[in-house]
Structure 1
Amino acid sequence: ARDWDTRFAIAESFVAARLAEAKRMSAEIAWAYRQVIGSGGRTRVSVLADELGWSRKHLAAKFSDAIGIGPKTLSRIVRFNRALSLSKHQLDDWAGIAADCGYADQAHLVREFRDLAGETPTALA
């Protein structure tokens, strides 16, 4: 897909299909998924694991089996999507967008954009 709105729609459809296919997604995984989405990708995997009484590794394995990607990857995608959406309204305020989306700093946001999209934030905006 050429534009990011289409790419995110495809990703959301994939995750929704995985959720629908899951014969019996555990309540714990459903809860963890809702926490990641509801927090805008800002919830730490270690916090989710602690809340569930699981190890991070166990949570990541169960989450990946049910959803198709790990909780950290989902968090990165959710934050990236939010940052890209905010960039349409806060033109060139990358430091502010980074802070709003939970990135450590603007450099962290730039690294995530390069990792996930292969481009800098400015090139995508």
Structure 2
Amino acid sequence: MRAAWASRAGTGRTIVRPDGCTDLIFHQTPGGQLSLRVVGVMTAPHPVHSDGGRRVALRLHPHAAGALLGDAALYRDDAVPAEAVWGAPTHALKEHLADLPTGAAQDALQAFVQARLRPVDPRVAYAAGRLEAGTPRIEGIEALAAELRLSARQLTRLFGVHVGVSPRTFARTFRLERTLPLLRDPSVPLASVALLAGYADQAHFTRECVALTGDTPRAWRVRNLQDAAPDTPSD
């Protein structure tokens, strides 16, 4: 598992951006309704409406989605009831999770996943780790495939099954994830952020930021750092 998380937030609407991962999320509403969903890897920002209920979740390593689900691409940009994946055992699991404190519920979710997890393809795990870290750059995916003695087409097909997206989409997602922390420093101009992150220019960075967060870089900076200094030049 990549991470376990939990929330008991107030009501409202938030935007969740792509992070390259698949989640298994248990939700207990204030009225006592229970759900367990597989939330597949995302390629665009999605609005999430909170009802103030309790959520307990596991986040898979990107390369492990297919090992759990069979074909991760089937769940891309979707949230599917766990019953549609594993059937009747999920009903008892939901009732069990509802009676457990957060830590124990996460342990129970992890045991459920581990019992169903098939072996991970080591080639996909290696490639995903390289692309997440930014080595090689997006333009070097063909070289990465050759390093694994695969064609670019074969690597793309493997990524679709095991991660749910293509290597290029995966690399784009994590390039932005590595870039957003730079926006938290208001002293760094947006053009410099784009250059440091390896985008072709500021316009390219802006397009990618809008596509993956719903905000321009300037809007994201202001929203996430209220005391951000005025910047040059404009988006």
> Corresponding residue for 1:52?
148
Provide the aligned C-alpha RMSD in A.
2.6
* Pairing partner for 2:203 from 107, 116, 120: 107
More strand by share: 2
2:83 aligned with 1:83, yes or no?
no
How much identity, in percent, do the aligned residues show?
31
**1:113·1:119 contact (CA, 8 Å) conserved in 2?**
yes
Q: TM-score, normalised by structure 2?
A: 0.45
Select between 12-21 and 54-63 the one with higher mean Cα deviation. Answer: 12-21
Helix, strand or coil at the partner of 1:69 = coil
> Corresponding residue for 2:216?
120
> Corresponding residue for 1:37?
132
* Pairing partner for 2:162 from 51, 66, 81: 66
Q: TM-score, normalised by structure 1?
A: 0.79
Query: In 2 relative to 1, CA 70–21 (structure 1 residues): closer, same or farther, beyond 3 Å?
Result: closer
Deviation at 1:112, TM superposition (A): 0.8
5+ residue gaps in structure 1? none
**1:60·1:71 contact (CA, 8 Å) conserved in 2?**
yes
Query: In 2 relative to 1, CA 52–90 (structure 1 residues): closer, same or farther, beyond 3 Å?
Result: farther
Query: In 2 relative to 1, CA 40–109 (structure 1 residues): closer, same or farther, beyond 3 Å?
Result: farther
Query: In 2 relative to 1, CA 105–84 (structure 1 residues): closer, same or farther, beyond 3 Å?
Result: same
5+ residue gaps in structure 2? 1-12, 24-40, 42-58, 68-117, 222-235
More helix by share: 1
Query: In 2 relative to 1, CA 102–48 (structure 1 residues): closer, same or farther, beyond 3 Å?
Result: same
Deviation at 1:37, TM superposition (A): 1.4
Count of residues in correspondence between the two structures: 122
> Corresponding residue for 1:2?
14
For residues 112 and 20 of structure 1, the distance between their equivalents in structure 2, rounded to whole angstroms, comes to: 25
CA deviations on 1:28-64 (whole Å, 9 max, x unpaired) are 1111011011227734321211211212111011012
